C-alpha cells in the first residue's frame, strides 16, 4: 500500500495537540476590523481547539496526524 499524501492546505492551517485534538487559528480576524469590538478582537487572539464534529472532516485530509 503506498503512502497517503497530506493535503498541503491542511498542513498549513491545522495541527494536532498531544491529546490528538485539532488546533486552529481563531476565526473572524481577516478583515472588517472596524466593525468588531475591541473585546472581540482581544478574545479572538491565538488558537482554539476545533469542535469534534468539524475535526472529523479535517482528519480525513491529514492521514498521519501532522
Domain that holds residue 40: 8-61
Q: Is residue 20 part of a domain?
A: yes
Q: Is residue 66 part of a domain?
A: no
User: pLDDT in tens for each of the 66 residues of the chain?
Assistant: 899 999 999 999 999 999 999 999 999 999 999 999 999 999 999 999 999 999 999 999 998 887
Q: Is residue 44 part of a domain?
A: yes
Q: Is residue 42 part of a domain?
A: yes
36 within 8 A of 28, measured Cβ to Cβ: yes
Indicate left, alpha or beta for 33 from its phi (over 0: left) and psi (-120 to 50: alpha). alpha
Task: Look at the chain and report how many structural domains it folds into.
Answer: 1
- Which residue spans within the chain are E strands per DSSP? 14-16, 22-25, 47-49
Amino acid at each position: 500500500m503506498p503512502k497517503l499524501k497530506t493535503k498541503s492546505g491542511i498542513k498549513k492551517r491545522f495541527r494536532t495537540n498531544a491529546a490528538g485534538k485539532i488546533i486552529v487559528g481563531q476565526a473572524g480576524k481577516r478583515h472588517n476590523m472596524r466593525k468588531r469590538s475591541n473585546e472581540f478582537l482581544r478574545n479572538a487572539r491565538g488558537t482554539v481547539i476545533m469542535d469534534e464534529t468539524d475535526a472529523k472532516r479535517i482528519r480525513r485530509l491529514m492521514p498521519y496526524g501532522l
